[in-house]
Chains A and B, each alone.
Chain A
Amino acid sequence: MTDRHLPDLADPEGRYRMLRLIRGFEQLALGLVKSGAITGGIHPYIGQEAVAVGVCAALRPQDRITSTHRGHGHVLAKGADPGRLLAELCGRVGGLNQGRGGSMHAADLSLGILGANGIVGAGAPIAVGAAWAARQAGEDRVAVSFFGDGALNQGVLLESLNLAAVWRLPVLFVCENNGYATTLPAATAVAGSGTGRAAGFGIPAVEVDGMDTEAVREATELAVRRAREGGGPAFLECRTYRFEGHHTMERRMKLRYRSTEEIEHWRARDPLERAAAGLADGRRAGLDAAVDAELAEAERFALASDHPDPAGACDHLYADGLRPRAGAVA
């Protein structure tokens, strides 16, 4: 347990590579939604990559995370294999969850990824529980809960902040404030502020530029160091923006809750371009090519993976293998 960082994210090139991998993965997935290979659509992470990469760059492999409905970026940055994540999105047996979970439930317990989650705010108490268990076991693992601005209004999130604070647990709350919960502007939904709420529980809370990978990483390193040393929870509010619609379904609807100017303003602050500007001359093309090759291989793997056998539709319903009665008498 000596690794300080997730190996791929230890240096700026590695972080650029991961930003680019997430961006490319999402673009690939958007295409597969369109072609029908992915059923049910996705919540694209494009625009918010700096948060997942900046946070995970400050984590160790043993640390744990809980994620959201918009989870692909978190899952990849914590180290999941892009081919197996993509296979999961396509509902194939080679997927992270053997095709049982899909986009909103992607998980890899071996990497400390306790799952994307379909219920807003649901990951926060789960992260609190993971942090509590680690502390009870005498391990110096931390847990990170990613959530959106919409989750700030879930009672369970506020209850989780309280538990983490009164028990001084090693948990980091990362609010990705992208300005909207679906069509609802955060400005009209959140009284006070996220950081103000955390501060109300006595939790150190800072606002960070969520379009700047290095700023997110530095803030996370501080918080994580303190948490490992027994200093208790921390709260980061990362101001960010999603470049795409809330969900791929939105492309078919004529919704007007964001202005073109606003979208352009944020696109001009693209976290990928910012990270690229810090690379040594001539390095970008090579990194991009390597990522593209990795994604091509991921796509090949995902689409070559088998569809699951309907006879196994109840496999894994119970951890002990209990088989439920079928829905009809044969």
Chain B
Amino acid sequence: MSKLSYTKALNRALGDALAEDPAVFVLGEDIGAGLAGPTLGLLDRFGPGRVVDTPLSEQAFTGMAVGAALAGRKPVIEFQIPALLFLVFEQLVNQAHKFSLMTGGQTGVPLTCLVPGSGSRDGWAGQHSDHPYSLFAHAGVKTVVPATPTDAYGLLLSAVRDPDPVVVFAPAAVLGVRENVTWELAPVPLGSARVHRPGTDVTVVAVGHLVHEALAVAEELAGEISVEVLDPRTLHPFDWAALAASLERTGRLVVIDDSNRSCGIGAEILATAAEEMRLTAPPRRITRPDGAVLPFAPALDRALQPGREQLLHAVRSVVKNPWR
């Protein structure tokens, strides 16, 4: 048995992907030095032809990765900060994502983007604290947010093997999480949700680091309310069947999601559940405010993030309030 950290799990997945397929290569800023963690030691192991340190030219190297993918390679780009995705939205959404359809299926673009440290990091302020996974789900890019070390390993490996572009968000708040691993690490299929804790009264859908908050709330409420914690793991394509099955059991839904409220993935989950699934009470979601920009001061930053107290309150209220 060993303790596996989330960052180490990403590191293992990249190492295994590089080892199993010579088409795979990793590129990004300061990755030779392993500054962010996931690429630590890979340059020594695989050399500068497979682990490529780039100048600060995100648009060019993302576009270059698209080109390399069209030429048969499988690039993995590590982005130092989530805001860099805004710079390369063109290359990811308007180029990589559209090639399969626009070429009539002649090619896919097997490109993986890894964002270690997404969401708030204490004290990094407005331009370094975004969590834009809903933007990619909205655009239709495959989008993954692992919550645990074993899922981080399994989903990143599947993302690299996938024939389409995939963006993998590794929230800053889980990078330090460690897990006892007694089994072989294995790939986790994209598009499959995971029930972390079964329950019968309320389904809490939690995204990324918030899975751990949801589990804490479920534990706190045990004996009073039976909470099922469902982690979608992949936001696009979403495992709607798993959500429907869970709501068949509970009939009540609360979503906790680190997106801005309007047009966030939490909104989509509530809407789909309301349209298509069994709900015995009005659903709730906990998100960042509409259009939030995280302020610098730690107390202000925390005030805008979805939190445990709000979740506790929402779970109690959906149990008390059926449709009128």
* Residues of A bordering B, CB below 8 Å: 38-41, 88, 91-92, 97, 99-105, 117-121, 150-151, 153-155, 181-184, 189-190, 253, 255, 257, 307-308, 310-314, 317, 324-329
Contact = CB atoms under 8 A, between A and B. Distances in A.
B322 interface: no
Given A39-B298, A104-B125, A308-B295, 20 more contacts: A39-B123, A40-B124, A91-B296, A100-B295, A103-B125, A118-B125, A119-B83, A153-B57, A154-B56, A155-B60, A181-B55, A183-B30, A184-B56, A310-B300, A312-B300, A313-B304, A317-B292, A317-B293, A324-B289, A328-B313
Interface string B296-311: 1111111111100010
A155 B128 CA distance: 20
Contact of B287 (A183, A255, A327): A327
B125 A308 contact: no
Contacts of A190: 55
A140 B232 CA distance: 58
A255 B30 CA distance: 11
A313 B292 CA distance: 10
Interface string B145-166: 0000000000000000000000
Nearest to A254: B33
Contacts of A184: 29-30, 53, 55-56
A78 to B, nearest CB: 20
Nearest to B121: A40
B55 A327 contact: no
Nearest to A102: B296
A329 B306 CA distance: 12
Contacts of B298: 39, 91
Contacts of A189: 55-56
Nearest to A250: B35
Prevailing SS type, chain A contact patch: loop
Nearest to B295: A100
Given A104-B125, A183-B32, A314-B304, A328 B293 contact: no
B284 interface: yes
A92 B297 contact: yes
A101 B126 CA distance: 7
Nearest to B53: A184
Contacts of A97: 296
A43 to B, nearest CB: 12
Interface in B94-140: 121-128
Nearest to B282: A329
What 10 A-B pairs are tightest by C-beta distance, nearest first? A40-B123, A102-B296, A39-B123, A91-B297, A118-B127, A324-B290, A310-B303, A153-B55, A313-B303, A99-B297
B211 interface: no
B292 A308 contact: no
B126 A105 contact: yes
B56 A314 contact: no
